[in-house]
Amino acid sequence: MSVTNIFLFRDIIKVKIGIGEPSGITSPSDGQVAVEGNITYTYDLSSTNWDISVQTNQIYVNGLTTTPTNLSFSSGEIWKNGINEGTSTTVVDTDIVRLKITNPTLNSIQNYSFVADGTNLEFNVELNDPQTSNFAVEVAKTMSNNDDMEKLSQSAKTVFGNISAGNNSFEDDFTEVKENLSKYIAENITEILSKPESYASLFR
């Protein structure tokens, strides 16, 4: 199988007020760690800032045509089977791999490249704070407000239906639901913040 179809590290898109620091911590200590989803925050007392680390989805390696296969990622760390391998390693079938990036630029799309068996591949990281990224100024809508919530609800039902039926397509369906929900929140963040009770069903 082509490495392009094996190492499918998805784009990371997060929208959160105060994306530069974790929620609910007012007096952090040096080295304190907080985890929110695939974002890890580590407090640096010397700079009084939180260092941000972001991890990709994990890949279960299977179907390699070259074994072992060389993997390199100069912009961050390669984690293989739970161990930090640095910027380069080799992988074989059954290895579990993910990539880790530290302190990506906020409110900006950051493109990251890695090389698998001599093939250049890439993914994007985008961490956005709606209060500082101009989401509220002008947004090019790609979804209409009238029936978005119903479409998201139906998509979620499809995912759970495929899981119950043992249909392997549920992973792609789930990814699509997450992407559409992230897009919907980004495009309607101002209204959601002003009327959170109207959108409670999205977060149940």
Is there a domain that residue 84 lies in? no
Pairwise CA distance, residues 23 & 30, whole Å: 17
Is there a domain that residue 164 lies in? yes
Identify the three-state secondary structure at position 4: helix
Q: What is the mean pLDDT of the chain?
A: 81
User: Other CB atoms closer than 10 Å to residue 3's CB: what's the count?
Assistant: 21
**pLDDT for the residue numbered 203:** 52
Question: pLDDT tens for residues 92-138?
Answer: 999 999 999 999 999 999 999 999 999 999 999 999 988 877 654 44
**pLDDT for the residue numbered 137:** 45
Is there a domain that residue 195 lies in? yes
- Does pLDDT of 177 surpass 90? no
**Full domain range(s) for residue 184:** 134-204
Question: pLDDT tens for residues 3-45?
Answer: 988 999 999 989 888 999 998 898 999 999 999 988 999 999 9
Distance of alpha carbon 149 from its chain centroid, rounded?
22
Is there a domain that residue 180 lies in? yes
Q: Which residues fall within 8 angstroms of residue 135, CB to CB, at 6 or more apart?
A: 15, 128, 186, 187, 189, 190
**pLDDT for the residue numbered 90:** 96
**pLDDT for the residue numbered 197:** 59
**pLDDT for the residue numbered 143:** 47
Cis ω for the linkage preceding 22 (within 30 of 0)? no
**pLDDT for the residue numbered 49:** 94
Is there a domain that residue 153 lies in? yes
> In the structure, what pLDDT confidence band is assigned to residue 69 with cuts at 50, 70 and 90?
very high
Full 3-state SS string of 76-89: CEEEECCEECCCEE
Structural domain tally of the chain? 1
